[in-house]
Amino acid sequence: MRPRLVNLSFVPSITLVLLMSGCVKKSTHQGTLSTLATAESDITTLRRDVASLEGQISTMRSQMRVEAQRRDSIQASIEGQVTAMRGERDRMDQRRQEAAGRFDEARREIDRLETLLSQRGSEYQSLQRRLESLRAVEREVRDRNAIYESVIERFRSLMDGGQLSVAIVRGRLVILLPQDVLFESGSATLGREGQSVITEVASVLSGFPDRSFQVEGHTDNVPIATARFPSNWELSSARALAVVRLLSQKGVAPQNLSGAAFGEFQPVASNDDRDSRRRNRRIEIVMLPNLDVIAQTQLPGK
């Protein structure tokens, strides 16, 4: 309940009026005194209430100051925390951006490495194919050398007798038979000695059923012009085919045989003298290289 405020300034005035009046009824005087006492009691009460209220106000002001200080402290703490959190948020954003940048860089590096790995894989496969091709070539060379050694050993007596020779020419095994051993001059008919030599050659070549042989006819540069042989090409061709036919008859698989005519156009000597021309008149039996192996080494990307 809010205390009732009384104006205390009128009390001395009442007393003064009563004294100056001089003559006042007793009852009136008693009533006035009672009123005055009541007023003084009220004043005392009011003063006590005012003092209590002032104490309460002072206490409340103190509490308000404490609360204000606490509020300011809390607000300052909150603002500090907010500032710290904003700073942490900014640092987190910066770290996130840095992490995103590193992730993108890592992704690009992974893509680069995957591309490089793919390229290396293709290169590895290509090298593997190339290695297999080289191994096939190595096997071909090894087989050719083994055949060469076998042929040399088997033809030793014919070589010693001057009836043939064996050599590696441009990577090919070549059995060279002089024309004088096989044919009469201007003839494409094998003589007795020629048939004997070719028969012995056939017995050796038939032992290599997986190899192909080409019989090549060569002449000197002395021209020939007969009804049967208009030029040295026809003569060299007829001689090569005569050898092919006899080799086939003596056991060499016909699918492994072929004939070729070169006439005078692949000489091994100058043709300037009789001995040189004799050397140019010849039959060469060439062991052909494995065409599958050659194809593997020549194909693009191998």
118-142 pLDDT, tens per residue? 878 888 887 787 777 777 778 877 8
pLDDT > 70 in the chain, percent: 87
8 A C-beta contact, residue 260 and residue 217: yes
Q: Is residue 123 included in any domain, yes or no?
A: no
pLDDT at position 290: 77
- Do both 59 and 188 map to the same domain? no
- 24 pLDDT higher than 60: no
Angstrom distance (rounded) from CA 284 to CA 174: 6
In a domain, 144, yes or no: no
Contacts of 127-131 with C-beta under 8 Å, sequence gap 24+, read: 129/301, 129/302, 130/302
How would residue 278 be classed by pLDDT, with cut points 50, 70 and 90?
very high
Is residue 147 situated within a structural domain?
A: no
Residue 102 belongs to a domain: no
The average pLDDT across 254-271 equals 97
Residues 172 and 274 in one domain: yes
Same domain flag for 54 and 173: no
pLDDT at 294 over 70: no
pTM over 0.85: no
User: Is residue 212, in this structure, part of any structural domain at all?
Assistant: yes
Domain count, the chain: 2
Residue 224 has pLDDT above 90, yes or no: yes
Least confident of 25-29, 146-150, 203-207, 226-230: 25-29
Relative to beta strand 257-263, strand 213-218 is parallel
Picking from 54, 77, 100, the residue at the C-terminal end of a domain is 77
Domain containing 53: what range?
9-77
Final residue belonging to a domain, choices 77, 112, 137 = 77
**Does residue 160 share a domain with residue 254?**
yes
Q: Where are the beta strands (DSSP E) in 142-250?
A: 165-169, 172-178, 213-218
| Residues 53-73 pLDDT 10s | 888 888 888 888 888 888 888
Are 50 and 172 in a shared domain? no
Identify residue 134 by its one-letter amino acid code.
L
Q: What is the CATH number for 262?
A: 3.30.1330.60
**Which of 91-95, 271-275, 281-285 is predicted with the least confidence, judged by mean pLDDT?**
91-95
Percent of the chain with pLDDT over 90: 44
SS3 (DSSP) at 230: coil
Label residue 13 by pLDDT band (50, 70, 90).
Answer: low
Q: Is the pLDDT of residue 90 over 70?
A: yes
Domain boundary among 77, 98, 115: 77
Please tell me the predicted confidence (pLDDT) of residue 75.
Answer: 82
Q: Which residues of 24-46 are buried (b: 16+ CB within 10 A; e: fewer)?
A: eeeeeeeebeeeeeebeeeeeeb
In a domain, 91, yes or no: no
| Distance between start and end Cα atoms, the chain | 111
